[in-house]
């Protein structure tokens, strides 16, 4: 893949995260704060972001499946054959713990690193260490 | 879009993990550079609202959260974009399980944290 395409894809993805509010920990925590449902302070907007992204991505993935190959002729990866296992559940729990503590997941972490390097480095460096620690290989 | 054009899944955690140590790193590093550049541009054009709330999180909490997010997404092979968008859009059974688990855990964690704090 051309690195220019990948850079542009990152730029567009990042812009989407900023425009949708995902880059703001306050906005994400406002969504995760289910204790606020009914108080008028709960912020359901991120659910709309997810629904919107799925509304675009689902038909695109379906289109790719029908074509059988990528537009550049590359092979499209098929769904993983491994089923639901303990690593998936355990990993998702750990991820949820971290996400609930700070309201930051990997994509927004990298966007926020560009927007405000400090204190984001305090999140991104441990994130990188964690990514390497959690590998199976 | 990455998948359709190039046959790649745009899960951020997976891209970042392989960019750190793995094969075919060039496009992954370029993708990450694009994300970081988007943040820089947004900071200049939009202002500090881009990262609203970041300053209220203590450093130690940021660091612990980062480590947990890293280990967790690496073990589960996916994060919000990987399982939440790409996985669900492809009707992956693993993602249908992972998304409620991490979203539910995050909501419970935050609720407990608010009670204790």
What pLDDT, in 10s, does the model give residues B67-111?
Answer: 999 999 999 888 888 888 888 888 889 999 999 999 999 999 999
A124 near B46, Cβ under 8 Å? Answer: no
What pLDDT, in 10s, does the model give residues B6-49?
Answer: 445 557 888 888 877 777 888 899 999 999 999 999 999 999 99
Q: How many CB pairs under 8 A join A and B?
A: 395
Domain ranges for chain A, please list them: 3-133
Q: Does B8 touch chain A (CB under 8 A)?
A: yes
Give the pLDDT confidence score for residue B58 in this predicted structure: 96
What pLDDT, in 10s, does the model give residues B46-59?
Answer: 999 999 999 999 99
Query: Does residue A8 or residue B85 have the better pLDDT?
Result: A8
Contact list in A for residue B107 (CB cut-off 8 A) is 32-34, 100
Give the pLDDT confidence score for residue B10 in this predicted structure: 58
Q: Does A5 touch chain B (CB under 8 A)?
A: yes
Contact list in B for residue A103 (CB cut-off 8 A) is 53, 57
Chain A nearest CA to B64, separation (Å): 7
What lies within 8 Å, CB to CB, of A66 at 6+ separation is none
> What is the rounded CA–CA span in Å between residue A37 and residue B91?
29
A74: which DSSP letter? P
> What is the rounded CA–CA span in Å between residue A48 and residue B26?
33
Dmax (CA) for chain A in angstroms is: 52
Q: In chain B, positions 26-85, which contact chain A (CB-CB < 8 Å)? A: 26-43, 46, 48-57, 59, 61-77, 79-81, 83-85
């Amino acid at each position: 893949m051309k690195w220019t395409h990948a850079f542009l894809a990152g730029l567009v993805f990042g812009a989407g995260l900023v425009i949708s509010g995902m880059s703001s920990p306050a906005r994400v925590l406002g969504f995760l704060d289910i204790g606020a449902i009914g108080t008028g302070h709960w912020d359901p907007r991120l659910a709309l972001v997810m629904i919107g992204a799925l509304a675009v991505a689902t038909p695109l993935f379906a289109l790719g499946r029908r074509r059988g190959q990528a537009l550049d002729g590359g092979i499209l990866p098929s769904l993983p054959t491994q089923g639901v296992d303990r690593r998936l559940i355990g990993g998702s729990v750990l991820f949820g713990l971290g996400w609930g503590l700070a309201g930051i997941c990997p994509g927004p972490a990298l966007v926020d690193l560009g927007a405000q390097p400090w204190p984001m480095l305090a999140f991104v460096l441990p994130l990188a260490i964690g990514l390497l620690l959690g590998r199976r290989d | 879009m990455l998948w359709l054009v190039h046959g790649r899944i745009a899960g951020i955690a997976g891209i970042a993990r392989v960019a750190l140590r793995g094969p075919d790193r060039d496009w992954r590093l370029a993708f990450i550079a694009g994300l970081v550049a988007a943040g820089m541009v947004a900071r200049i054009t939009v202002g500090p609202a881009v990262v609203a709330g970041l300053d209220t999180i203590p450093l130690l909490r940021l660091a612990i959260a980062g480590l947990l997010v890293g280990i967790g997404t690496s073990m589960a092979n996916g994060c919000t974009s990987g399982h939440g968008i790409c996985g669900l859009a492809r009707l992956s059974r693993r993602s249908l399980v992972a998304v409620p688990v991490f979203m539910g855990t995050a909501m419970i964690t935050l609720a407990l944290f608010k009670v204790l704090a």
